[in-house]
Amino acid sequence: MAKTQSRTKRTSRRKSIDYRIPNLWDCWGADAGATSRAAELVIDPPKYLEGCLAWIRGQSTLRGRVAGRSLSQVQGVKSTGKLRVRDADVARRAGDWIRGEVMYGMMIRCSTAWDHDGDGQINSRRVNELGTFLKSILLLPHLARMGVTVLYLLPVVKASRLYRKGEMGCPYSAKNFFELDPDQYDDAFGAKYGDVNAQFELFVECAHRLGMRVMLDIAPRTAARDSDWILDNPEWFYWIDRRFERSYRAPRIPGATYINPIPSRLGEMYAVQAVRDHLAKFRFAPSVTSPAKWKKFAADMKRRPPEDLLAEIGKHFGVITPPGFSDVVNDDQPPWSDVTYLRLFEDHPTGAVKHLADSANQPPYVLYDTAKASLFMGKKPTMQLWDRLAGIIPFYQKFGVDGARVDMAHALPGKLEALVLQKPRERDADFCLLAEQLGTERHADAYAGGYNIIIGPSWWMQPRAHEGKMHAFLRTIPKLKVPVMAAAETPDTPRAVVRRGKRKFAMQAVVVNCFLPNAVPMVNGGMEVFERQPMNLGLDAKTKDRYVLPKSDPLYGKLAFFDRYALHWANAGGRKMADLIGKANALRRAYLNALTNPRAYFAPKLSANAKRIIATGFKLARGKGALIMLANLDYDAPRKTSVSGIARGAKQADVLLSVTSCESPKLKAGRLSVNLAAGNVVVLHVK
């Protein structure tokens, strides 16, 4: 707290500025401390935040203690063993509340970043212009207006600044899993909001008061190469001779036709000279080779923390933690310069021992098989490390978080994955777990493992709907044991607005995703303002996708994962898009019982333009007809279609939602005829 107060005193001596925020954030009717200026508001930060907090409290129906508890705990949700019943139609498991929600992806550092002093850059020394927890509270009314009910946060842990790939450290480069990143702290709103921990707890509490849950992303398979854990536990890491750092990369396996190493063919891999050379670069941990010297060194480093811990270790011991690399055999992507693998076993993979020239004297090493620890395990788990990793999510539960995604959990040893997933539910039986499965093939495994939802492939299918991919997706997802995330873009992909159809596609997608069976819509932060710049280039992206902004834009070429980046909140059409998302989500909420009931779904039969139109249908209870969604995948021309098999007793078809103007549909003798404008999507109530 002393540190926080001293920072606040420094702030009070700063030259006063006109503190600006995007106009779009204000949708709660601020009547104090705000002056409109074009696409921005000039605010008095403390007064404006106080007004926003008062508005949030006025919207809340929660009673009793809210802070530090999940929304399920606040609401007193009771779980009955592994199952609980949510409605009369379908039995739900604990954590299955996700089925009825609407997700919004946020990277705190980027989502509420803004050029507050108007100097054209996101680097002011006078105020924190990066996104913070307190500024994210100011964004909550906007998200509530759009119908968002789950905030899906990219990692909020303390990130390393060493070996960074841009101006900032990547949020997945965890220097300390048990500390929040200090960049998310904000001192512009007054000292009474406490340190970064108190500000995060307040953010979660405010989200809960608006009926929103909070889910986190954690990545426990890797850590920053200069992790805070190194000084106390160097044996938890792999080490190479520092002379090989620049040339270090995954060895190529000539003639390999497999993506994952095959147990029966490990001998072929270990016989490759490039692999032998790779293994020769590794060294034992410095605490093993020089225990007394390491003990003194670690104590000195703790007393006087250096700017570059790895440089000091290299200077005194000649070793360094190696960068990570993909566990896909012969993957072309370069090494992950800012993270290193954690050593999950004290011994070598069992299947590899016989292929090592001298297994007893071979230092611990990273290869495709050790990286794929779910398939290639040793006999001696690094149990202290496992326990530490299993404690990450419970640490954040003290702030009240409601769910989590474990990055690359499927690559962890099965027992470690189970331990990581089990611990949070000991604290909160209704905790939700999101599986990082980018396909649907292993949906049953996800269900059996206790997951409530998978990411799935909609981010790849939806931009290729014109190729029939969404039709295939629709044939698959109703049969899955867990729902999929429905998203036209993710933090790792190109933005929807740069895909085929541009803005028409983006607007169509946010509606379509609300009316898919067995799916949970997710709006990636910035999609509501037609953000063009991707956050990362991890999926379905090429280098050129980094340069979609005009060269005149100060953020040209920058990526939010690595650089100082702010969303283009002032983009034209943002308020209209936000309104559309809000209308679609309100309609989804009104018909949620049918949309989440697998027995209610049916695939409408189209007799015209079936390949160019996406159609879903849901039977409504008690003879109230059906809900039908139709979307035209042609963004250049209108398309006509007719839906057959409509109940002959149906007399009318009401248009509940249409992105663009829509002619009144015609209903006659059980056949529904609709004219769809280019790229339009309509939702109809047939009764």
Same-domain pairing of 171 and 236: no
For range 450-469, the mean pLDDT? 96
Return phi, psi of residue 214, to 5°: -125, 125
Mean pLDDT over the full length of the chain: 92
Same-domain pairing of 385 and 326: no
Work out the angle at residue 585's Cα, subtended by the Cα atoms of residues 574 and 589, and round it to the nearest 5 degrees: 165
Same-domain pairing of 48 and 170: yes
Instruction: Report pLDDT digits (tens) over 628-666.
Output: 999 999 999 999 999 987 877 788 999 999 999 888 899
Decide if pLDDT at 92 tops 80.
no
Same-domain pairing of 104 and 19: yes
Which of the listed residues 436, 457, 477 is the one where a domain comes to its end?
436
CB 130 within 8 A of CB 104: no
d(CA 378, CA 211): 45
d(CA 175, CA 141): 32
Residue 563 lies in a domain: no
Percent of the chain with pLDDT over 70: 95
Residue 334 carries which DSSP code? P
Q: Count of domains in the chain?
A: 3
How many distinct helices (H) and strands (E) make up the chain? 21, 29
Decide if pLDDT at 8 tops 90.
no
For range 135-150, the mean pLDDT? 97
Question: How would residue 91 be classed by pLDDT, with cut points 50, 70 and 90?
Answer: low
Instruction: Report pLDDT digits (tens) over 478-529.
Output: 999 999 999 999 999 999 999 999 999 999 999 999 999 999 999 999 999 9
pLDDT at 13: 40
Same-domain pairing of 630 and 610: yes
pLDDT at 113: 98
As given in the structure block, the two tokens for residue 12 are 């009070």
For range 600-623, the mean pLDDT? 93
Same-domain pairing of 52 and 167: yes
Question: How would residue 79 be classed by pLDDT, with cut points 50, 70 and 90?
Answer: low
For range 529-555, the mean pLDDT? 96
d(CA 655, CA 682): 7
- Domain, as residue range, for 365: 224-372
Name the residue with tokens 């039908």: 628
Same-domain pairing of 202 and 129: yes
d(CA 492, CA 170): 13
Residue 558 lies in a domain: no
Which of the listed residues 372, 407, 422 is the one where a domain comes to its end?
372
pLDDT at 587: 98
Residue 655 lies in a domain: yes
How much is the CA Rg of the chain, to the nearest whole Å?
26
d(CA 549, CA 559): 11
Decide if pLDDT at 251 tops 50.
yes
Residue 214 lies in a domain: yes
Same-domain pairing of 245 and 215: no
Same-domain pairing of 392 and 363: no
Which of the listed residues 418, 436, 454 is the one where a domain comes to its end?
436
CB 136 within 8 A of CB 152: no
- Beta pairing class for 213-218 and 403-406: parallel
Decide if pLDDT at 95 tops 60.
yes
pTM of the model: 0.94
Return phi, psi of residue 169, to 5°: -75, 145
Decide if pLDDT at 12 tops 70.
no
Residue 582 lies in a domain: no
Decide if pLDDT at 476 tops 70.
yes
Decide if pLDDT at 36 tops 80.
no
Name the residue with tokens 């000279």: 273
Residue 547 lies in a domain: no
The number of residues making up the chain comes to 687
pLDDT at 1: 36
- Among the listed ranges 106-115, 324-333, 385-394, 471-480, which one has the minimum average pLDDT value? 324-333
CATH at 682: 2.60.40.1180
Decide if pLDDT at 317 tops 50.
yes
Instruction: Report pLDDT digits (tens) over 273-313.
Output: 999 999 999 999 999 999 999 999 999 999 999 999 999 99
CB 553 within 8 A of CB 571: no
For range 334-345, the mean pLDDT? 94
d(CA 531, CA 106): 13
Same-domain pairing of 17 and 128: yes
- Bigger pLDDT: 79 vs 483: 483
How many other CB atoms are found less than 10 A from the CB of residue 275? 20
d(CA 68, CA 74): 9
Same-domain pairing of 258 and 300: yes
Instruction: Report pLDDT digits (tens) over 388-423.
Output: 999 999 999 999 999 999 988 888 999 999 999 999
pLDDT at 11: 43
**Of 496, 493, 499, the residue nearest 538 (C-alpha):** 493
CATH at 183: 3.20.20.80
Same-domain pairing of 134 and 12: yes
Residue 562 lies in a domain: no
Residue 474 lies in a domain: no
